[in-house]
Structure 1
Amino acid sequence: MRRVPARLHVLLAPKVRLGVVLRRGPSRQVASIGWDLRTDEFTLGQWLNGRIYERRSDLSPDGRRLIYFAMNGRWQDPTGGSWTAISRAPYLKADVLLGKGDCWHGGGLFTGPRTYWLNDGYGHRPMRASGEVRRDEDYRPAGSYGGECPHVYYNRLQRDGWTFREPETVFDKPLRHGWTLRKYAHAGPPGVGHGCYWDEHRLIAPDGTGTALLPACSWAEVDGDDIVYAAEGALYRVRLRAGGPQEARLLHDFTPMRFKAVAAPY
């Protein structure tokens, strides 16, 4: 029987080398895992019986807080079956909880270590508040891409140093030695191993003519002299030299993980 790899998406803190891996699989189970990029050590946060919309989620600049939009489809629950939450990374237990009740809009971006923009549109209902963070009522995203995943995701990418090449949904990020990491952000019918939004990546050579294809990776980013990327349920790190990428190093395979109830330590 063919092994079905987990789906991975990673949120990196803009100012420190910390991240949160969102591991999905089966489709209605997701785990949050802390990633220390200084040591490549991973720490399990919590599992959720439901769906986290990773493209509507973000990590605070200091890596301490996570904002995410989630859905469990329990429409009679107090949250209405979907919600936006702010938690203490890498955990999912909400310090701030806003019930939603549908899957329009939701999620948001951090505008500072303790301030966030809510992708509101309409329908959020405050259910739990925290004095540790506050909503940034003045922030307006630089670009407008609808109300759902692309609106949060494309603005997050551009905030984090990616250049949006319109009219195509292509993003470029400069690398060392004149190379470029290119991200193709797709939207369309779901397929094997991806939903209605998915990414592909290429490495563009300094002269712009030669390309080195990355594996079929669902996520990729720059970390100093390295490229870190997710493929087939695992995370890899590869060093980029002037002549091109070196051999990739496996950091961790997340596919064998199974649901485990974990209590947040707060």
Structure 2
Amino acid sequence: MTTFPPPCRLYVLLATAAPTALIMRRGPSAWWHLLEWDLQAGEVRHGAWLRGTLYPRRCDISPDGKLLGYFALGDGQSPWDTYFAVSKTPWLTALAAWHTHGTWTAGCRFATDNSLTISASMDKRPFHGSYPYGATVEDLSFDWTRRDLQNEYKRGWRPFSGEVERIPAGLREAVLLQRVQPGGERALVLAHTGTDFQRYGIEGAQISYLREDDDGEITPLPEAAWADWDRKGRLLMATYEGAVKIIEWRSGIWAETWSHDLRHLMPAPAPSPSWAQAW
């Protein structure tokens, strides 16, 4: 685990029904930046900058990757101090917004029809705009580990079913999940060792990644701050150094086939385009 702050911190929300993802980038420390990652074209498109706080592990994007449900802590007056909103990716212009009663929020999830379920201590009806696909507010049920890993569960990660003895000794007591490569025989393994807000980690989550190849060998991925498979079975990675990468199995080796460096971006807030300002 990295023991010093990297140039930026990255987290990725991966669409389940389209070749797209949303990169959530923190840095400088008071700023967040959203970027759309087109996995088919191999392009990254810049979106919103926010001076405030986002909670990526409690956010979700719609199956087609076009909508974002997010929790934010801003510097505005109530009800824009702590709120949940829906926007069009990769922007943060709220098309519907609900006031939350503090940051006691557990997450949200889009269904296949874009209906939305929100788990939070919050008002049942939006104070701004409306949501045309239907939204349900659940009573808050808070479990730190489940909160940290809910996006993985939504994408198909399941409890590790292999032999724990093959996991490095320091991770054997962790919460272990695995995700089998789509169309392949390999797997990714995730080890959640707890929550520590004094150390590097999105929302304090201490996560390590490993790769299990088809011969059963397990290899740590120390550079990975986030990792998952895309629908083609390619390994996607966001690194501690501040890059996003695509890694593929070619000619008997894992080869980096695409990368994009996000380390040195500086805040450049701009209005969202007109298409992102209305339904």
What TM-score do the two structures reach when normalised by structure 2? Answer: 0.81
Match of 1:108 in 2: 108
Distance 1:252 1:149 in 2: 32
Match of 1:237 in 2: 246
Of stretches 251-260 and 191-200 in structure 1, the one that deviates more from structure 2 is 191-200
Q: Which has the higher contact order (CA 8 A, sep 6+)?
A: 2
Change (3 A) 1:60 1:93: same
Q: Shift of residue 247 of structure 1? A: 2.5
Change (3 A) 1:94 1:106: farther
Of 21, 24, 47, which aligns to 1:22?
Answer: 24
Q: Shift of residue 203 of structure 1? A: 0.6
Of stretches 32-41 and 123-132 in structure 1, the one that deviates more from structure 2 is 123-132
Of 154, 167, 171, which aligns to 2:149?
Answer: 154
Percent identical across equivalent pairs?
Answer: 24
Distance 2:144 2:39 in 1: 26
In structure 1, list runs of 5 or more residues that go unmatched.
Answer: none
What letter corresponds to residue 111 of structure 2 in structure 1? Answer: T
Change (3 A) 1:136 1:241: farther
What letter corresponds to residue 163 of structure 1 in structure 2? Answer: R
Q: Shift of residue 255 of structure 1? A: 1.3
Of 215, 224, 227, which aligns to 1:220?
Answer: 227
Of stretches 148-157 and 255-264 in structure 1, the one that deviates more from structure 2 is 148-157
Supply the RMSD in Å over aligned alpha carbons. 2.7
Match of 2:189 in 1: 182
What letter corresponds to residue 154 of structure 1 in structure 2? Answer: L
Distance 1:148 1:124 in 2: 21
What letter corresponds to residue 229 of structure 1 in structure 2? Answer: M
Q: Shift of residue 258 of structure 1? A: 0.8
What TM-score do the two structures reach when normalised by structure 1? Answer: 0.85
Paired residues of 1:200 and 1:218 also in contact (CA < 8 A): yes
Distance 1:204 1:24 in 2: 30
Deviations 1:55-89 (A, max 9, x none): 000110111100011112x3x61225211110011
Q: Where in structure 1 do 4 or more consecutive aligned residues deviate above 6 Å?
A: none
Match of 1:99 in 2: 99
Q: Shift of residue 239 of structure 1? A: 0.5
What letter corresponds to residue 40 of structure 1 in structure 2? Answer: G
Match of 2:72 in 1: 70
Q: Shift of residue 11 of structure 1? A: 0.5
* Map 1:41-80 → 2, pairs under 5 A: 41-72=43-74, 74=75, 77-79=77-79
Of 151, 173, 180, which aligns to 2:179?
Answer: 173
Paired residues of 1:200 and 1:216 also in contact (CA < 8 A): no
Match of 1:7 in 2: 9
Partner SS state of residue 104, structure 1? strand
What letter corresponds to residue 226 of structure 2 in structure 1? Answer: W
Q: How many residues are paired up?
A: 256
Change (3 A) 1:173 1:242: farther
Matched, 1:259 2:261: no
In structure 2, list runs of 5 or more residues that go unmatched.
Answer: 162-172
Distance 2:5 2:120 in 1: 38
Match of 2:207 in 1: 199
Q: Shift of residue 131 of structure 1? A: 4.5
Distance 1:125 1:198 in 2: 34
Match of 2:82 in 1: 82
